[in-house]
Each structure stands twice: as structure tokens, then as C-alpha cells.
Structure 1
Amino acid sequence: MLPTKAPLVFLDIGTEQTVLGRVYISLWGQLRRAMNFLHLCLGDRGPSFRDSMFLEVMNADCPGERIRGGDYECNNGRGGEALLDDLESEEGYSMPMEAGMITAGGPNRKEVGAQFFICTEDDFDRRFACPFGRVVSGLPIVKEAVWLVMTKEVYIRECGVVVEAARI
């Protein structure tokens, strides 16, 4: 049984030759974007983030630095449709940018609903549109991926959900 209040997902990040490590993300389960991300980590509806690339770094080495991924179709930033309809739009809500926050990404957030950003630096003067989760462990791995993506292809090698065993 999957948790619906705050599901915990993981992304195993690496290059062609190296495994960087595992990143754990707590999703805000009440949001459709979070559920969309969860299904793309599970691959239970067909598409999955597995073997998709991190595409680019925005604001490199500056406040508000973030890395973009999630194009499971084309691996070039032009694909990655949402699995669910009626995802929250960027006008709906925003929060100050904090390290580890995950939000909607891509050129058109409504059409490219699978793409996402992970913010690696705090910038409380800027706002992050459509946040739907937070990195709870593994932010140093994301920061390492930021530097590697400049010269190498960095992938989500494996992904899924952390399911806690029932306590008896």
C-alpha cells in the first residue's frame, strides 16, 4: 500500500560509468503534481524516469541554482508528458526557493508535466512556482550532478517509492 499523505520516492543518480548515489524525495501527496511524479518514479502507468537524463543547470553557482530533469521521452527537454490531467499551474502557488525543493519544470509547465527542477541553493528573494516536494536525503549527490552535467551525461538510473513495512 502506498502512502498518500507524504510518499517518499528515490532516484538513483549516475553517469555511464559511475553511480553517484541515491536521493530521497518527500512528496506533498495532496498535490496532483506530486502524484504524477510518484507514478513516474514507479513506472506503474507505463512511462518512468528510469534512464532519463538531467538536462541542464539553471543559475549555475548562484542563489536559486537548480537542475532540470524528467524528459523520459526525448531526453532533450522537449518531451515528458504528464500522466495525470489538471496539474496545478504555476499561477496556483509558489514558495521562496529553498535548497532541496522540487518543482514543475520545462518550457511549458502545463504541457511538459513530467519535467522537474531540484533547487540546490536557497534564494529567499525569489519564488519557486508549483513546488510539490523536498529532497530529504542526498542533496550533496544532486549538487555533484550539477557539476557533472556540464561535461557528462547524468542519468536517473533507477527510481521508485519507499514502502514501509506494516508495524505489528
Structure 2
Amino acid sequence: MTFLRLLVLAAVTLSGVFGEAGARTVSLETDTFVVDLYVDVAESTGSVVAHLSTGVDDTRVIALQHRGGGRWGIRTELPRKNYMVVFEVVGPGQLSDPVTLTQLGASLDLPGEEPAEEPGPEREPSASSRWGWLALALGAASLTALAFWVLGGEDDDGEAGEEE
């Protein structure tokens, strides 16, 4: 079943001048992995780059090598993270739709390891996360009430002293 899933995810068709794109995990270590990343480009171009980002201070721009025909690609070592990938034809600045490495077919799971859950907007926050935000809001409200009480008391005393 897993093998079939990898075959289905192994190639994604992108929009615009971009055709098929894919990623294959070549080797996998605890902290890093080697991935073979490729994309087909419909028109002839001087160069293609891949923008990889995790969204958290880890953005990379990697120049792809021409592999013949309309295919561009590279084999590179990366930290073991599910990067978001956007391909770009340099010059006209045409960009592909963003896709993740796992959507392109890369596997980031070591044998015997539970598959990593992909973060997304549809995922509900955990119960401990909700309690943490509630505690933070309660603390902020308490500090605000304390500040009003302390500052409000000083204004009343100051005004009462001036009237006498």
C-alpha cells in the first residue's frame, strides 16, 4: 500500500509553462536527506531555479541543471524537513504553484518511524495549546485590571490633594 502511495505521489503536474515535477528520496539520515528534484518546462529557457522554504527562517534558492529535453533537476542534501517548493523560470519570472516535497513524492520517514503529521490550516490546535492561549489571555487581562486599579488610584489621590 505504501509503495502504491509513493507511485501516485511521485509526479505532480504543475500549471503554466511547467509540466511534470517530482522528488525522490535517494538517502535518508536522522537529520538530513538527499533528494533528487526535477521539473519539466514546456518552453526553452536559460535557467530554472527552485525556491525551497519551511516558512521559518529556512529559505533556499537552488539552481537546477538542464537534464536534456525540457527536464531540469538537481540532487541535493537538505535538512530533513518537508520544504515547500516553487519552481521559477529565470528571466520571465514565471512561477509554479507551491507544492511540498512529500507531495512531489519524497519520503521523509525512516523505516519503523511513525509518519510525520503535516501541519496545515485545517488541523485543530491541541488541547494543551488552547489552555496555553487561555492562560496567556487571562494573565494579560489580570495585568490590565491591575494597571487600571493602580493608575486609577493615583489619579484620584492626586486630584483630591489639589482641591484641598
Same fold (TM over 0.5): no
Q: Normalization by structure 1: what TM-score?
A: 0.28
Task: Name the one with the larger helix percent.
Answer: 2
Instruction: Please tell me whether Structure 1 or Structure 2 has the larger radius of gyration of its CA atoms.
Output: 2
Q: Normalization by structure 2: what TM-score?
A: 0.29
Identify the structure with bigger relative contact order (alpha carbons < 8 Å, sequence gap 6+). Answer: 1
